[in-house]
Amino acid sequence: MTPFHKTRGFRIRVGIVCSVIAIFAFFVLKRSYELQVVDHEKYRTIAENQSLRKLRLSPLRGSIVDRNGSELAVSVPVDSIYADPRYFKSEGGDAKKAARLLAELLSVDEETIERRLSSDRRFVWLERRVLPEVAREVKALGLPGVLSVEEMRRYYPNRSLAAHILGFANIDGVGIEGLELAYDEQLRGMIREIPAIRDARGRTVYSDLLLDRASHAGYDLELTIDRTIQDIVETELALGVANFEAKSGSVVVVEPRTGELLALANFPTYNPNAPSGSVAARRNRAVTDRFEPGSTVKVFTVAAAIDEGTIDPEDEFDCERGVMKVGEDDVIRDTSIHSMLSVTKILTYSSNIGTAKIGMTLGREGLYRAFRRFGFGAETGLGLPGETAGRLSHFGRWYELDAVTISFGQGFSANAVQLAYAMAAVANGGLLMEPLLVKRVKDELGHVVEERLPRVKRRVISEETAELMGEMLTSVTGRSGTAEDANLEGFLVAGKTGTAQKADERGLGYAKDRYIASFVGYVPADDPALVIAVIIDEPIVAHYGGVVAGPIFRRIADASLRYLGALPHDAGSGLDRVARAERQRQERATTRSIGVDDLAGLDELGGEELFGSLILGAREVLVPDLRGLTARSALRKANAEGLTLEFEGTGEVIEQFPAPSTIVHRGSAVRIVLGEPLERLDEEEGA
Q: Write the DSSP assignment of 618-637 as a string of letters.
A: TTEEEPP--TT-BHHHHHHH
295 is catalytic: yes
> Edge to edge, what strands does the sheet with 494-503 contain?
260-267, 248-255, 530-537, 510-523, 494-503
* Pairing label, strands 64-65, 220-223: parallel
Distance CA 593, CA 644 (A): 14
Phi and psi at residue 221, to the nearest 5°: -110, 130
The SS3 call for residue 522 is strand
Residues 6+ apart with CB under 8 A from 49: 122
Render the burial of 493-504: b for 16+ CB within 10 Å, e for the rest.
Answer: bbbbbbbbbbbe
Catalytic annotation, pick one of 148, 160, 295, 475: 295
CA dihedral 654, 657, 661, 667 (to 10 degrees): -120
Q: Is 596 exposed, middle or buried (0-12, 13-18, 19+ CB in 10 A)?
A: middle
User: What is the C-alpha to C-alpha distance for residues 188 and 418, in angstroms, rounded to an integer?
Assistant: 30
Cα distance between residue 217 and residue 122, in whole Å: 28
* DSSP 8-state code for residue 298: H
SS3 454: coil
Residues 6+ apart with CB under 8 A from 537: 246, 247, 248, 249, 285, 289, 291, 516
Q: Determine the 3-state secondary structure of 457 from DSSP.
A: strand
Instruction: With H, G, I as helix, E, B as strand and everything else as coil, classify residue 189.
Output: coil
Rounded CA gap, 25 and 17, in Å? 12
User: Residue 530 forms beta bridges with which residues?
Assistant: 523
DSSP code of residue 34: I
State how far the Cα of 586 lies from the Cα of 564, in Å rounded to an integer: 11
Q: For residues 377 and 69, what is the distance between their CA atoms, to the nearest angstrom?
A: 35
- Kindly provide the b/e burial profile for residues 426-455, where b requires at least 16 CB atoms within 10 angstroms of the residue's own CB: bbbbbbbbbbbbbbbbbbbeeeeeeebeee
Q: Which residue numbers are catalytic?
A: 295
